[in-house]
Amino acid sequence: MSSSAHLLAVSQIFGWQDPGAAFTAISQIGTEAAVLIYFRRDIARITVSWAKSLRQPALRSSIDARMGWYVILGTIPIVVLGITFTSQIETIARNLWLTAVMLAGFGLLLGAADRWGHRTREISSLRAKDAILLGGAQALALVPGVSRSGATITMGLTLGLTREAATRYAFLLAIPAVLGSGAYEATRISNDPDVAWGAVIVATVIAFSVGYLVISWLIRYIATNSYLPFVLYRLGFAGVLVVLLLAGVLNA
């Protein structure tokens, strides 16, 4: 749904300052902590298999060992683009008009991929080129309104993955990117006296609590349902932003 888009809009509606990209990145560590706990068995299995495959070539063809490499490979685009365009991400990319366009545009893309994607492939069918494409999609979430998981799921569905496979992979792929980004931003602003660390900690705890419940619900939901409600929500949210911007309630 794009947490950064919600933070941008809500902060203005209540007259707060833009929390900034750093606040968003750090608070998302809470959500990722929920992912780590929920997928702990998958993560442990993948990590162990990947580590063993480094010394035992016979294990490198297993899906768990390959998943380790795919997550690493898929993380490279967002790291490179995030570091290269740090200034733009924290300034012009946070324009609410752009956020509204991204919400609507990627909502339509998600709807199209969900409607016309073959949805026949499981995670075990992933290949290196898929990992690169999925990583590129995740990198687009550097722009508020895109949604990290939404972009990855959209690409996964486009590549023919089932809804559950695309969703699970999106959560796993996000782990190093979110944790790395949060740690980087926390270090970068650690000595800034203007940072309200109390608010950051509270937001992170809330993100963890809500994140775990949402992940648990979403995995069950998409097993038998489409992403249409999420598409409609994104379009509705984009419409609300446009109306509020035109009315002068929000400042782009």
Greatest mean pLDDT range, 12-16, 24-28, 40-44, 94-98: 40-44
Mean pLDDT of the chain: 87
Nearest to 168 by CA among 77, 241, 63, 239: 63
Is pLDDT at 43 greater than 60 in this prediction? yes
Residue-wise pLDDT tens digits, 174-208? 999 888 877 776 776 666 656 666 667 777 888 88
pLDDT of residue 133: 97
Between 156 and 8, the more confident residue is 156
Between 82 and 251, the more confident residue is 82
pLDDT of residue 187: 74
Is pLDDT at 18 greater than 60 in this prediction? no
What is the 3-state secondary structure of the chain? Answer: CCHHHHHHHHHHHCCCCCCHHHHHHHHHHHHHHHHHHHCHHHHHHHHHHHHHHCCCHHHCCCHHHHHHHHHHHHHHHHHHHHHHCHHHHHCHHHCHHHHHHHHHHHHHHHHHHHHHCCCCECHHHCCHHHHHHHHHHHHHHHCCCCCHHHHHHHHHHHCCECHHHHHHHHHHHHHHHHHHHHHHHHHHCCCCCCCCHHHHHHHHHHHHHHHHHHHHHHHHHCCCCCCHHHHHHHHHHHHHHHHHHHCCCCCC
For residues 230-242, average pLDDT: 93
For residues 9-31, average pLDDT: 67
Backbone phi, then psi, for 38, in 5-degree steps? -65, -40
Read off the pLDDT band of 2 (50, 70, 90): low
Read off the pLDDT band of 130 (50, 70, 90): very high
- Measure Cα distances from 179 to 34, 35, 63, 160, 250 in Å: 12, 11, 24, 28, 31
Between 210 and 195, the more confident residue is 210
Is pLDDT at 25 greater than 80 in this prediction? no
Read off the pLDDT band of 231 (50, 70, 90): very high
Report d(CA 123, CA 63) in Å as an integer: 8
Greatest mean pLDDT range, 28-37, 60-69, 186-195: 60-69
Is pLDDT at 19 greater than 60 in this prediction? no
pLDDT of residue 197: 64
